[in-house]
Every structure is written in C-alpha cells, then in structure tokens.
C-alpha cells in the first residue's frame, strides 16, 4: 500500500484526495519527514549561505574520521554497502560450494592473507620485473607496454563508436601518469613544489623496497620524463569536447601522426590486427608521447616501467609497499590521516574485479520489484516534466525542440541492476597470489572487450554495479542508470514527505537526464550519435546561458588560491541546475493537484523541497582531497552544488525571502535558467 500511495503522490494522480493523506504511516529514516533537522543552523540566513543554513551544525560538529578524505551521505552510504558485502563474503566461508561465491571468497581471502603476503615478500614481483629487464629495443618496449598490468604513455581501449553507436571501435589517447593530473607537475607555488618533492621521494622509496639499484638517479629521470609528458597532455577541460576528441584514422594516418609508435605491431599484439580504424582522442598528446618513446633513452623508459608496475600494484605486496603508497597518494595528496581497515580495502578490491558477481547477490538481497516499479514511475514523472520544460523553452526554436523531444522520448532508463550479469567463470583466481589475481582481472576484462568486437553494441551492459552509490548518463547509449544502492534513504525514501522525495530523488533523476542536454551530452542525438542537431540560433542562445554559468563558478574559491574551473565543471553544473529546475516543476505539478501542503516544523513545502536538495549534498572534505577535486574533477564541491545552483532559481528566492544585499543574491537578469 505504501508503494501505491507514494507512486500516486509523485505522479500527481488522484488516488489520494488530500495532501494530508499523501503521507505514509511509516517513519522516514532521517528526521520526522525525511530530513535530519539537527544538521541545520537556523542562525545562518538562507540568502547568505543556504548550505550553512541547511547543514551548518553538522559542518561544525561532524568530525572526519582518520581514514577518510570526506564525509557526508554520498561518502558514508558506500560504507554501509561495504559492510553488507563483507557479511555476504564472510558468511559464505573461505570455500563455499556455489562457484560464483567461491570465486569471490577466494579473491577476497587471498587479499586478506597478510601473513602469506609478507612471507612471500617480493617473489611475486620477480617474473614481471624480469620481463622489463629482458626488453632490448623500442619494439620490445612498446609490446610490453601493450600488455595489461604495465603502464604506457598511450592508452588503447574499446568502446562504442560515437559516430555509429551500433558498433564497437578502438580508441587511443593519452594515458595517466604517476601524479593525478598534469597540474601537479606544472603549477607553480610552494604547495606544488612540496608535492613534487614528496612524489620524488616516493619514487625512490618504491624502487628501494623492490631492490632496484640507483634509486635516486632513476627517480630524477622518471620525474623528468613524466613532467615532459604532462606538458603535452590535454587539460581536463579540453578532453570534454567530443568533437575534438573524435579523430578516426587509418594505419597510414596513424603512422603519420606518431611514427615512433609501432601501431601495426602493438595493435596486433593486443588482438586488434583486423581493426582498420582507430579513433584518436588527444591527437597532439599522442604525437608528443610517441616522440618521447623515440628520444628518451630506453633505459629510462624501463626504469619508469619498473617503478610504475610496483607502484600500481603496491596494494597486493607486503605492508611496506602498501604503506608507502598510502602515505603518498592518500596522506600527502589528500590529507587522509590513517589507512582504512584491511577488510574495507579487500571489499573494494574484489568489487573492482568481480563487481557484477557480487552485484547479482547484492541485488537479490537488497532490491525488490516494488522499489523497481516505484523508481521507474519516478523516472517517467521527470521525463514528463522535462517534456513540459522543452516545449516551453523560449530560447529553443521549433526544429531544435522537435529533436530534443525525440531524444527525451528515446531515453532508456535502467533501474536497480542489469538484466544479465557478466560471467567470470573463465577468470582464474589464486588462493595465494593476490597480485596474480589483480592481473588476471585486467586480462579477463580485456578479453571480454575483445569478444565484443564485430558484434552489435550490447546495450544491456552496465558501467556501474548494483552496489554502487551513484548514477550516470551515457550519451552514446542515451541511457540513464540508477543502481540499487543509490536508491535508498536519504536519496530515496518511500516514507518521506513528498517535497523531500522531489528535492532529493527527483533532483537526482533530473540531474542524470539533464546530462543529455548539458554542453557535452547535447552534442549527441536521440540514437546516441555524435551529430550537430541544433540550429545555429538555438546553439548560440544555449551557449550564452552556459557561459554565464561558467563565469559564476569561475569566481568561487573553495580553498585559498584554487578556484572552481567553470568550464571543466560546466556539464555537472548544468545538470544540477536543469535537474533541480525540472524536479521543482514536477513538485509543483503535484501541489497543483493536491493543494499546498501543510507547514511542518515551521517550513513550507517549497522550503522543504530546497532544504532536502541541500541535505542531499551533505559533505565536507580535507583540503588535499578538495584540491585534487578542483584540479581535475568535473564535479564542483558539495557546497557549491547547492549555493551555486539555488541562487539561479527564482522559486528559491520566493521560498526564503532572499533580497538584494544577501550574499547569494543575484539580480533576476543575472540568473541562469537552463529551462
């Protein structure tokens, strides 16, 4: 009965006659009606700092645990899921009869066997380092880099073709370096100099632990090499342009682009010999990386490969390696004070390797048809609200509007879990070698991708597991996906006030659907094809809106000296704003049918809607984690996903009486409206 009632109130039907009866009798998980009111600080004026008003007490009093970089709903809910997965694995015992559970348990317990890992020492490393030692020439180097587990300055993968989403193609582009982004190598200032010195010390430490001689001199050469590569890599902002990163090339064109890279040999080695076309992403970065393969001494490249192999797999090696990796990547870069418990890391490792095997069991235990039906109705409610917004968008002309409505109608929502799961039966799992297990996982994933070449794109595949607390939009598939673990309180609570479900669940659904019309997603049509379906006039008006939002976010400075990158975060900011606009429109449709809701705890329905939205972004992080986010993450920090968004919505001003002179006030003509 609860499901029927909530479906009715969210869809605005007349099943229930009055707003008072629209509440369920069950108690919401958070607070009396879906929001924890103890997190608020009512001494803060909403128009000055809405995030502080909604969450000020929590922001002031909630400590960040020593093993965390961030806390808040989006960071704490995965902890609950990890506890459930740990129980799932450990209750099964070390050798369950079910073959899927046995594979999962073996992988997990091999990682948890710290005594065995210590006893084996560096022995598991030796055959992999010996392969590096055996390299005699450039071709041998490039072929080894093409093997999974070894680093390469040029990454090669398989994905759906953006110009023909029905088939798979091969992609090539710049690959990751030892530091998270190019900025860490290139930005001036004492903070970044300190990080680079710490990184050099880490390179030395890893080599010494592995018994590699001349670690100091090699560290200097490795850092010089990576800095050179970083200078030529594309910025995160540039990499978001799907037109500039779609460059299909035949073998002759590849040879001209990067003659130092043996494309024929590498592609054949990876099982791609029959693929005549490769889509190159960051063209100039690939050219520069290939030049480095030609002019940097072979010995330096081999030193880099040794360091990267050991560093990239430190979690599967003795404690000294694992601790060194944590000390640099988590403590130095992100300010985390203590490492997570071993079992938590074990759950994350097995989740990464056998995610859908766990996901199948997780979904069976934590997901049901009632929740799935209600979730789908929520999606359709937001789809209807989007249709209303598109039809009423004054900046969109009729030809563009027609295409936009076709794209909206073609949205493919996936809820809870995949219809079919990956079969991992062919992946070998050792009870005594976690390093081999990690490499076997990489090899399995690559073979799985290879098996899809030449076949139609499989639209049933998921990029997230059911146990993931997140959601995503895929522009090439035109799909919105909401895993089971995301659809739980506070984001999804059948017992919550309708305003809360619209402000949290509705805004989340609206956000993901909004990615279909953000600055990147809007370039893909209803079929997922990268195609310009906008008239020049509509595109010009859209871009003007978008650039105004870029300017707003460029001005925010979450930590001293580091601003939000408005262009990098534009897609997420547009999805936040458009999603909240549509969620609010859907909520007002409900109110129009059922009447204005009662005031609860001194808050009107509209106030509760915006308060719930703010609460859904509850979060705070350590300075190092925020710095890393600002340099490379397309998502703005949580505070600005609230304050930076609501200040553009007229309804928020009306709900809280925000006036000129308030810190967040924007004149009406300065407010950005996506829809």
Is 582 found in the same domain as 488?
A: yes
Where helices occur in 246-397 by DSSP H, the ranges are: 251-257, 263-269, 283-295, 298-312, 319-325, 333-334, 342-366, 369-392
The Cα–Cα gap between 607 and 645 comes to: 15
Q: Please, are residues 2 and 22 in contact by the beta-carbon 8 Å criterion?
A: no
Is 145 found in the same domain as 55?
A: no
- Average pLDDT, integer, range 390-404: 96
State yes or no: pLDDT of 211 exceeds 50: yes
Q: Please, are residues 148 and 138 in contact by the beta-carbon 8 Å criterion?
A: no
The Cα–Cα gap between 296 and 594 comes to: 71
Question: What Å distances lie between residue 554 and 548, 564, 566, CA to CA?
Answer: 10, 5, 5
* Domain end (from 263, 298, 333): 298
Is 530 found in the same domain as 436?
A: yes
* Domain end (from 265, 280, 298): 298
525 assigned to some structural domain: yes
Q: Please, are residues 221 and 300 in contact by the beta-carbon 8 Å criterion?
A: yes
Nearest to 165 by CA among 401, 479, 465: 479
Residue with tokens 């390299």: 135
Q: Exposed, middle or buried: residue 127 (CB in 10 Å: 0-12, 13-18, 19+)?
A: exposed
Is 416 found in the same domain as 554?
A: yes
Sequential DSSP letters for 173-209: EE---SSSSHHHHH--SHHHHHHHHHHHHHHHHHHHH
The whole-number pLDDT of residue 86 equals 96
State yes or no: pLDDT of 557 exceeds 80: yes
Give residue 335's region: left, alpha or beta (phi > 0; psi -120 to 50).
Answer: left
326 assigned to some structural domain: no
Residue with tokens 């029905």: 166
State yes or no: pLDDT of 2 exceeds 50: no
The whole-number pLDDT of residue 62 equals 98
The alpha-carbon radius of gyration of the chain (Å, integer) is 26
- Average pLDDT, integer, range 469-479: 96
483: Cβ contacts below 8 Å, ≥ 6 apart: 416, 417, 462, 464, 465, 466, 467, 468, 469, 470, 471
pLDDT band at 515 (very low <50, low <70, confident <90, very high): very high
107 assigned to some structural domain: no
Instruction: Report the percentage of the chain scoring pLDDT > 70.
Output: 96
Instruction: Report the percentage of the chain scoring pLDDT > 90.
Output: 91
CA 239, 244, 247: angle at the middle one, nearest 5?
Answer: 115
Cα end-to-end distance, the chain, whole Å: 35
The Cα–Cα gap between 461 and 452 comes to: 11
Q: Which of 48-62, 362-376, 443-457, 580-594 has the lowest mean pLDDT?
A: 362-376
The whole-number pLDDT of residue 372 equals 84
Is 395 found in the same domain as 280?
A: no
DSSP, collapsed to helix, strand or coil, labels residue 641 as: helix
H or E element that contains 57? helix 50-61
Is 173 found in the same domain as 51?
A: no
The whole-number pLDDT of residue 23 equals 44
pLDDT band at 24 (very low <50, low <70, confident <90, very high): very low
3-state secondary structure 166-182: EEEEEEEEECCCCCCCH
Is 561 found in the same domain as 650?
A: yes
Is 602 found in the same domain as 503?
A: yes
- Average pLDDT, integer, range 321-348: 98
Q: Please, are residues 516 and 408 in contact by the beta-carbon 8 Å criterion?
A: yes
- Average pLDDT, integer, range 178-192: 97
435: Cβ contacts below 8 Å, ≥ 6 apart: 124, 125, 313, 316, 317
Question: What Å distances lie between residue 131 and 117, 141, 266, 300, CA to CA?
Answer: 22, 10, 17, 15
- Average pLDDT, integer, range 328-336: 98
User: Checking DSSP bridges between strand 479-483 and strand 472-474, what pairing results, if any?
Assistant: antiparallel
CA 522 to centroid of chain Cα atoms = 19
State yes or no: pLDDT of 6 exceeds 70: no
State yes or no: pLDDT of 22 exceeds 60: no
CA 197, 554, 608: angle at the middle one, nearest 5?
Answer: 115
Residue with tokens 């719930």: 612
Is 539 found in the same domain as 414?
A: yes
The whole-number pLDDT of residue 13 equals 28
229, two tokens: 């590569």
416 assigned to some structural domain: yes
For residues 16 and 107, which has the higher predicted lDDT (pLDDT)? 107
* Domain end (from 273, 298, 323): 298
pLDDT in tens, 63-100: 999 999 999 999 999 999 999 999 999 998 888 999 99
Is 618 found in the same domain as 472?
A: yes
In sequence order, the β-bridge partners of residue 633 are none
pLDDT in tens, 226-270: 999 999 999 999 999 999 999 999 999 999 999 999 999 999 999
Total tally of structural domains belonging to the chain: 2
391-394 long-range CB contacts below 8 Å, 24 or more apart? 392/675, 393/675
State yes or no: pLDDT of 619 exceeds 80: yes
3-state secondary structure 605-632: HHHHHHHHHHHHCCCEECHHHHHHHHHH
- Average pLDDT, integer, range 17-29: 51
The whole-number pLDDT of residue 1 equals 27
The Cβ of residue 454 has, within 10 Å, a number of other Cβ atoms equal to: 10
Average pLDDT, the chain: 94
- Average pLDDT, integer, range 204-210: 98
613 assigned to some structural domain: yes
pLDDT band at 376 (very low <50, low <70, confident <90, very high): confident
DSSP, collapsed to helix, strand or coil, labels residue 481 as: strand
Question: What Å distances lie between residue 419 and 416, 426, 446, CA to CA?
Answer: 10, 21, 22
- Average pLDDT, integer, range 526-537: 97
The Cα–Cα gap between 246 and 283 comes to: 9
Dihedral, 364, 367, 370, 373 alpha carbons, nearest 10 = -110
Residue 166 sits in a domain whose CATH number is 1.10.1380.10
- Average pLDDT, integer, range 605-615: 98
The overall longest dimension of the chain from CA atoms, in Å, is 80
313 assigned to some structural domain: no
The Cβ of residue 409 has, within 10 Å, a number of other Cβ atoms equal to: 10
Is 174 found in the same domain as 63?
A: no
For residues 317 and 378, which has the higher predicted lDDT (pLDDT)? 317
The Cα–Cα gap between 330 and 659 comes to: 43
State yes or no: pLDDT of 9 exceeds 80: no
The whole-number pLDDT of residue 16 equals 24
Q: Please, are residues 463 and 472 in contact by the beta-carbon 8 Å criterion?
A: yes
The whole-number pLDDT of residue 93 equals 86
H or E element that contains 594? helix 570-594
530: Cβ contacts below 8 Å, ≥ 6 apart: 162, 163, 242, 243, 246, 476, 523, 524
State yes or no: pLDDT of 368 exceeds 60: yes
State yes or no: pLDDT of 11 exceeds 50: no
For residues 215 and 366, which has the higher predicted lDDT (pLDDT)? 215
State yes or no: pLDDT of 163 exceeds 90: yes
Q: Please, are residues 267 and 132 in contact by the beta-carbon 8 Å criterion?
A: no
State yes or no: pLDDT of 622 exceeds 80: yes
Is 649 found in the same domain as 546?
A: yes
pLDDT band at 378 (very low <50, low <70, confident <90, very high): confident
Domain that residue 65 falls in? 2-17+28-80+346-423+432-456+464-670
The whole-number pLDDT of residue 593 equals 85
557 assigned to some structural domain: yes
pLDDT in tens, 428-467: 999 999 999 999 999 999 999 999 999 999 999 999 999 9
Residue 43 sits in a domain whose CATH number is 3.40.390.10
Q: Please, are residues 465 and 104 in contact by the beta-carbon 8 Å criterion?
A: no
128 assigned to some structural domain: no
């Amino acid at each position: 009965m609860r499901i029927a009632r909530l479906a009715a109130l969210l869809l605005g039907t007349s099943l229930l006659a009055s707003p008072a009866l629209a509440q369920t009798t069950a108690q919401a998980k958070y607070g009396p009606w879906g929001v924890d009111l103890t997190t608020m600080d009512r001494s803060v004026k909403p128009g000055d700092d809405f995030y502080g008003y909604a969450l000020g007490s929590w922001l002031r009093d909630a400590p960040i645990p020593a093993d965390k970089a961030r806390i808040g709903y989006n960071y704490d809910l995965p902890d609950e899921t990890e506890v459930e997965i740990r129980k799932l694995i450990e209750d099964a015992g070390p050798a369950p009869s079910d073959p899927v559970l046995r594979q999962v348990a073996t992988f997990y317990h091999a990682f948890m066997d710290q005594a065995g890992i210590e006893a084996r020492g560096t022995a598991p490393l030796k055959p992999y380092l010996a392969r590096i030692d055996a390299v005699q020439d450039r071709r041998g180097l490039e072929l080894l880099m093409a093997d999974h587990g070894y680093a390469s300055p040029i990454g090669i993968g398989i994905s759906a073709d953006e110009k023909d989403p029905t088939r798979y193609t091969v992609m090539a582009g710049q690959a990751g370096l030892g530091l998270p982004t190019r900025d860490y190598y290139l930005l001036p200032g004492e903070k970044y100099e300190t990080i680079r010195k710490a990184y050099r010390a880490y390179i030395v430490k890893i080599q010494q632990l592995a018994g590699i001689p001349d670690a100091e001199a090699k560290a200097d050469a490795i850092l010089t090499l990576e800095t050179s590569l970083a200078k030529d890599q594309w910025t995160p902002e540039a990499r978001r342009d799907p037109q500039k990163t779609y460059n299909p090339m035949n073998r002759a064109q590849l040879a001209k682009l990067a003659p130092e890279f043996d494309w024929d040999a590498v592609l054949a080695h990876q099982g791609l010999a029959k693929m005549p076309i490769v889509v190159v992403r960051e063209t100039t970065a690939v050219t520069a990386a290939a030049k480095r393969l030609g002019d940097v001494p072979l010995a330096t490249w081999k030193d880099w490969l040794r360091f990267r192999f050991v560093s990239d797999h430190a979690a599967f090696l003795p404690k000294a390696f694992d601790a060194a990796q944590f000390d640099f990547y988590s403590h130095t870069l992100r300010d985390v004070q203590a490492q997570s418990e071993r079992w938590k890391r074990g759950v994350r490792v097995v989740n990464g390797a056998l995610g859908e095997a766990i996901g199948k069991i997780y979904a069976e235990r934590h997901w049901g048809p009632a929740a799935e039906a209600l979730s789908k109705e929520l999606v359709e409610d937001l789809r209807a609200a989007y249709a209303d917004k598109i039809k009423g968008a004054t900046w969109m002309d009729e030809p563009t509007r027609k295409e936009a409505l076709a794209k909206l109608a073609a949205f493919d929502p996936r809820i809870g879990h995949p219809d079919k799961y990956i079969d991992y039966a062919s992946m070998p799992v050792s009870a005594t070698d976690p390093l081999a297990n990690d490499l076997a996982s990489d090899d399995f994933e690559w073979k799985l991708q290879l098996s899809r070449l030449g076949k139609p794109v499989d639209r049933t595949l998921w990029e997230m597991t059911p146990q993931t607390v997140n959601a995503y939009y895929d522009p090439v598939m035109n799909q919105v996906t909401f895993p089971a673990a995301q659809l739980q309180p506070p984001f999804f609570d059948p017992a919550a006030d309708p305003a809360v479900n619209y402000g949290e669940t509705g805004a989340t659904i609206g956000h993901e659907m909004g990615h279909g019309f953000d600055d990147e997603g809007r370039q893909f049509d209803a079929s997922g094809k990268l195609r310009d379906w906008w008239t020049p006039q509509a595109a010009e008006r859209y871009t003007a809106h978008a650039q105004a939002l870029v300017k707003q976010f460029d001005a925010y400075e979450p930590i001293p000296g580091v601003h939000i990158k408005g262009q990098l975060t534009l897609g997420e900011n547009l999805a936040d704003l458009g999603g909240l606009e549509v969620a609010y429109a859907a909520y007002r449709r409900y109110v129009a049918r059922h009447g204005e809701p009662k005031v609860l705890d001194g808050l009107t329905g509209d106030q509760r809607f915006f308060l719930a939205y703010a609460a859904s972004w509850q979060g705070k992080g350590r300075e190092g984690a925020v710095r890393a986010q600002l340099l490379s993450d397309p998502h703005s920090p949580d505070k600005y996903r609230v304050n930076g968004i609501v200040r553009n919505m007229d309804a928020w001003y009306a709900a809280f009486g925000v006036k000129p002179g308030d810190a967040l006030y924007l004149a009406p003509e300065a407010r950005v409206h996506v829809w």
